[in-house]
A and B are shown apart, each in its own frame.
Chain A
Amino acid sequence: MCRINHKSEIRNQKSTAFTLVELLVVITIIGILIALLLPAVQAAREAARRIQCANNFKQVGVAMHNYHTTHECFPPGTIYWNSPMWNNPVCGPPPPQPAHPTYCGWGWGTFLLPYIEQQNIYDQIDFISNGSFGVGDSIWHPVNFPITKYRIEAYLCPSDPQGGELVKATSYNGFDTMEDCRQTNMVGISDSLDWTCDGLYAKHFSKADGVMARQLGCRMADIQDGTSHTLAIGEVTGGGPGSHLGHIWVLLALTDTYDGINGPFTVPGGATVEDFYGYSRPMGTSSFHPGGCHFTMADGSVQFISEDISQPILAALTTRAGEEVFQYGF
Chain B
Amino acid sequence: MGSKFGLACVVCAVAVAVAIGGGCGRGKLERAVVSGKVTYQGQPVAKGKIRFIPIKGTQTPMWGAFIRDGGYKASGKGGVPVGTHKVEIVAWRTKSDVVETANTPRSDLSLGGAPMGQQYLPEKYNTKTELEITIPPGSGKVVRDFDLTE
Inter-chain contact A196/B106, CB cutoff 8 Å: no
* C-alpha gap A99/B101 in the complex (Å): 40
Q: Which residues of the other chain, A, contact B105 by a CB distance below 8 angstroms?
A: 170-173
Tell me the chain B residues, 104-130 only, with Cβ under 8 Å from chain A: 105-119, 123, 126-127
* C-alpha gap A173/B101 in the complex (Å): 14
Q: How far is the CB of B120 from chain A (nearest CB, A)?
A: 9
Q: Which residues of the other chain, B, contact A311 by a CB distance below 8 angstroms?
A: 53-54, 60-62
* Residues 64-93 of chain B, each 1 if its beta carbon lies under 8 Å from chain A, else 0: 111010000011110000000000001110
Q: How far is the CB of A23 from chain B (nearest CB, A)?
A: 13
Inter-chain contact A263/B116, CB cutoff 8 Å: no
Cβ of A12 < 8 Å from any Cβ of B? no
Considering residues A169, A281, A308, which has the most beta carbons from chain B within 10 angstroms of its beta carbon? A308
Inter-chain contact B114/A196, CB cutoff 8 Å: yes
* Residues 249-279 of chain A, each 1 if its beta carbon lies under 8 Å from chain B, else 0: 0011010001111111100011100010111
* C-alpha gap A283/B66 in the complex (Å): 11
* C-alpha gap A311/B51 in the complex (Å): 12
Tell me the chain B residues, 1-21 only, with Cβ under 8 Å from chain A: 7, 10, 14, 17
Cβ of B47 < 8 Å from any Cβ of A? yes
Cβ of A200 < 8 Å from any Cβ of B? yes
Q: Which residues of the other chain, B, contact A275 by a CB distance below 8 angstroms?
A: 66, 68
Q: How far is the CB of B123 from chain A (nearest CB, A)?
A: 8
Given the interface contacts A263-B64, A264-B63, does A308 sit within 8 Å of B29 by beta carbon?
Answer: yes
Q: Which residues of the other chain, B, contact A260 by a CB distance below 8 angstroms?
A: 61-63
Tell me the chain B residues, 33-74 only, with Cβ under 8 Å from chain A: 47-49, 51, 53-54, 58-66, 68, 74
Cβ-defined partner of A271 (8 Å) among B66, B92, B117: B66
Q: How far is the CB of B11 from chain A (nearest CB, A)?
A: 9
Inter-chain contact B76/A169, CB cutoff 8 Å: no
Q: Which residues of the other chain, A, contact B17 by a CB distance below 8 angstroms?
A: 36
Inter-chain contact B62/A280, CB cutoff 8 Å: no
Interface range on chain B (Cβ under 8 Å from partner): 35 or more
Q: Which residues of the other chain, B, contact A171 by a CB distance below 8 angstroms?
A: 105-108
Measured CB to CB, the nearest residue on chain A to B98 is: A173
Q: Which residues of the other chain, B, contact A202 by a CB distance below 8 angstroms?
A: 111-112, 114
Given the interface contacts A251-B109, A261-B61, A310-B60, does A279 sit within 8 Å of B90 by beta carbon?
Answer: no
Cβ of A29 < 8 Å from any Cβ of B? yes
* C-alpha gap A271/B67 in the complex (Å): 12
Inter-chain contact B109/A170, CB cutoff 8 Å: yes
Measured CB to CB, the nearest residue on chain A to B90 is: A199
Cβ of A198 < 8 Å from any Cβ of B? yes
Give A residues with C-beta under 8 Å from B. Answer: 25, 29, 32, 36, 80, 83, 85-86, 105, 168-173, 175, 194-202, 248, 251-252, 254, 258-265, 269-271, 275, 277-281, 283, 307-314
For the complex with contacts A195-B112, A271-B76, A277-B47, 8 further pairs of A-B residues with Cβ separation under 8 Å are: A171-B108, A265-B66, A278-B47, A278-B117, A280-B113, A308-B29, A310-B61, A311-B62
